[in-house]
């Protein structure tokens, strides 16, 4: 019996450490993107073919001499490589989770399919991380990489939530499950729109609020703004992306945020009436207001780095809280989400 308890405790500790590293990696990934460090080492998986920027000193120095304010510097190279090292550690931890989930599946009393699916997702995420570099920060690749990170966080939150003790929740709350699932979908749409803003450097396309360029409906170019297959900073025709396209990107993300805020706010208020959901539902409301505040602050203070990173972290927090609510609501009826 003692051996069984040790296995369960070891597995749970591994899951929660991996979940925490996933959240940290998303935050650090935002820091990589916002400091323009995505091409700090313009090859993959190494840095100019070396394991660390120390071995690439000559190449980085040459790049700096050619373009002193370009994408390559020692600072950016280390930021990019630390992100890759952390991603590799995360992958190894997930492999360990899958190994334990299959080997001790009778002891853990949970299907190992979810852990296996997490491994598949992290492998795909790693591929997109490589393509981010090899495709020179192509917006659709970088945005998909962001969504992959959020998906991985959602899955790890689900995996971790299964290992926590059950909270007594009334079965009467179970009909709210489709509404919570719809909220999660809305969050991912908004994250995709936000990622598109960030990867196209459109955060400052509208410098006033609540209007944009002094108008409620400014002149915009949605066709080029949301043309998916194109390089960074250019239109599908190869010409430089216009201010009208950047305005369309920013304006869409800004206004869809109000849809998400209202929907998730109502959802949080309804779920707070259930004692077993009061804490996560309250946290959901707090994070919503924090997201609104950091979003507005990026405009008024012209996108300071710390606030922008916190804004990305707030989105991650909303995802993990919504997934936690979904898992608890599913348990209210004695059912489990598939996997």
The closest alpha carbon to 177, from 321, 284, 326, 280, belongs to: 326
Contact 246, 205 (CB under 8 A): yes
What's the first-to-final CA gap in the chain, in angstroms?
A: 27
152, 58 contact by CB (below 8 A) = no
Nearest alpha carbon to residue 203 among 292, 137, 298, 315: 298
- The answer to whether the CB of 288 falls within 8 A of the CB of 265 is yes
Dist CA 292 CA 257 (whole Å): 8
CA distances for 222 relative to 47, 163, 230, 258, 325, angstroms: 37, 45, 14, 19, 35
Q: Which of 217, 224, 270 is nearest to 243 (CA)?
A: 224
Catalytic (active site) residue 80: yes
Annotated active-site residue in 80, 163, 224, 274: 80
Which residues are annotated as catalytic? Answer: 80
């Amino acid at each position: 019996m003692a051996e069984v308890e040790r296995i369960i405790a070891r597995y749970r500790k591994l899951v929660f450490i991996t979940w925490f590293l996933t959240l940290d990696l998303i935050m650090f990934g935002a820091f990589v993107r916002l400091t323009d460090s995505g091409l700090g080492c313009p090859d993959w998986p190494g840095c100019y073919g070396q394991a660390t920027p120390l071995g690439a000193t000559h190449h980085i120095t040459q790049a700096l001499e050619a373009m002193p304010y370009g994408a390559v510097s020692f600072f950016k190279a280390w930021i990019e490589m630390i992100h890759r090292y952390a991603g590799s550690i995360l992958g190894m931890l997930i492999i360990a989770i899958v190994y334990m989930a299959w080997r001790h599946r009778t002891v853990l009393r949970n299907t190992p399919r979810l852990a296996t699916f997490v491994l598949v997702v992290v492998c795909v995420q790693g591929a997109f991380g490589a393509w981010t570099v090899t495709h020179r920060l192509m917006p659709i690749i970088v945005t998909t990489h962001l969504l992959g990170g959020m998906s991985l966080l959602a899955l790890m939150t689900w995996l971790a939530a299964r290992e926590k003790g059950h909270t007594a929740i009334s079965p009467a709350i179970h009909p709210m499950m489709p509404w919570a699932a719809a909220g999660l979908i809305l969050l991912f749409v908004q994250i995709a729109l936000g990622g598109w803003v960030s990867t196209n450097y459109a955060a400052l396309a509208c410098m006033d609020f609540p209007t944009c360029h002094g108008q409620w409906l400014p002149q915009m170019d949605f066709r080029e703004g949301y043309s998916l297959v194109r390089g960074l900073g250019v239109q599908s025709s190869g010409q430089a992306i216009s201010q009208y396209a950047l305005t369309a990107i920013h304006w869409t993300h800004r206004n869809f945020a109000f849809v998400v805020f209202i929907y998730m706010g109502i959802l949080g208020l309804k779920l707070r009436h259930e004692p077993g959901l009061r804490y996560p539902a309250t946290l959901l409301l707090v994070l919503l207001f924090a997201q609104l505040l950091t979003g507005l602050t990026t405009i008024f203070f012209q996108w300071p780095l710390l606030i922008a990173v916190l804004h990305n972290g707030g989105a991650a927090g909303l995802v993990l809280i919504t997934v936690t609510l979904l898992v608890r609501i599913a348990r209210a009826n004695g059912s489990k989400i598939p996997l």
